[in-house]
Amino acid sequence: MTLATLSDVLQPALKHKYAVAGLVTLGWEDMRAFVAAAEAEDVPVILQAGPSCREHTPLPILGRMFRHLAENANVPVVAHLDHGYTSEDCRIAIDSGFTSVMFDGSRKPLAENIAQTAAIADMAHAAGVSCEGEIGFVGYAGGEVSAGTDPAEAAQFARDTGVDAMAISVGNVHLQQDKEGGLDMDRIRAIEAVTSVPLVIHGGSGVPVAQRTALAQTSNVCKFNIGTELRMAFGEALRDAVNADPARFDRVQILKETHDPVMAATRRVLQAFKGA
């Protein structure tokens, strides 16, 4: 059994200068391919259930799916709640067997974000579960605009919440389909100077691959969330499978053909986060 907490995989990454991928799942087909890719690359992986995934499949089911994959994997696998917006979201995830929860209070005033995140971190730690928090709102491509993380606020947040990982806003954007952007290195260095908590980049699909590698090897950024990039790979593989035979209707046979392309795309993602 290789079920792990977020802290179990991020502390070694922080020490040895590499990063771990938080892969945003939508269903059985992609999460299975993600674990297969991690085994092929011999690296840990974080399976993440975000809001859209939870709308489709209840958390108790997702917890069992994640844990089944972890128990049969030969690399560490974290079962992680991504963007829990309430204490109840996080409590249900913990009760459902998740080993890590992320509370997103980034839209709230600083004091409220700290107080709520600290309470959830206490709840998680009492259950032997890790907790990730977010300071500085990370926006969405074509939607809400980001509010960059203030280093002084990041130091206060890390100190007062006791989180195991801290998501920051440093030029990253959720749902970005290209890699034309880049992260604010000066802001990252300023945050690193005031806290030793492992840092997390949400919206990692929009970060150029070379910068992902550089940050993994030279900074305290230990976790990159990757969703859009792999959803695009899945969508392309699914279209190819459907169009290959318009008369075919068995979805299990169709979905099986997404496995190898998604696994290959995931391996490329994971390779960028390895240490020097």
According to the model, what pLDDT value does residue 1 have? 57
Query: By the 8 A CB rule, do 206 and 181 touch?
Result: yes
Give the residue numbers marked as catalytic: 82
According to the model, what pLDDT value does residue 178 have? 57
Query: By the 8 A CB rule, do 116 and 85 touch?
Result: no
**DSSP annotation string for 20-54:** EEEEEE-SHHHHHHHHHHHHHHT--EEEEE-HHHH
Strand partners, 103: 84, 133
According to the model, what pLDDT value does residue 204 have? 83
What pLDDT digit, counting tens, does each position of 31-46 carry? Answer: 999 999 999 999 999 9
β-strands 77-84, 3-4: how paired? parallel
The Cα diameter of the chain in Å comes to 60
Which regions in the chain score pLDDT beneath 50? none
Domains of the chain, residue spans: 3-271
3-271 homologous superfamily: Aldolase class I (3.20.20.70)
Strand partners, 130: 100
Written as six digits, the tokens of 81 are: 């709640």
Rounded to 10°, the helix 59-71/28-41 angle is 30
pTM value is: 0.94
CA distance 152 to 147: 14
Classify 14 as helix, strand or coil: helix
The average confidence (pLDDT) of the chain is 93
According to the model, what pLDDT value does residue 165 have? 98
Query: By the 8 A CB rule, do 71 and 3 touch?
Result: yes
CA distance 135 to 166: 7
According to the model, what pLDDT value does residue 246 have? 87
**DSSP annotation string for 238-250:** HHHHHHH-TT---
According to the model, what pLDDT value does residue 148 have? 84
What pLDDT digit, counting tens, does each position of 177-195 carry? Answer: 556 667 889 999 999 999 9
Torsion, Cα 29 32 33 37, to 10 degrees, reads 170
CA distance 14 to 191: 15
Q: What are phi and psi of 187, to 5 degrees?
A: -70, -40
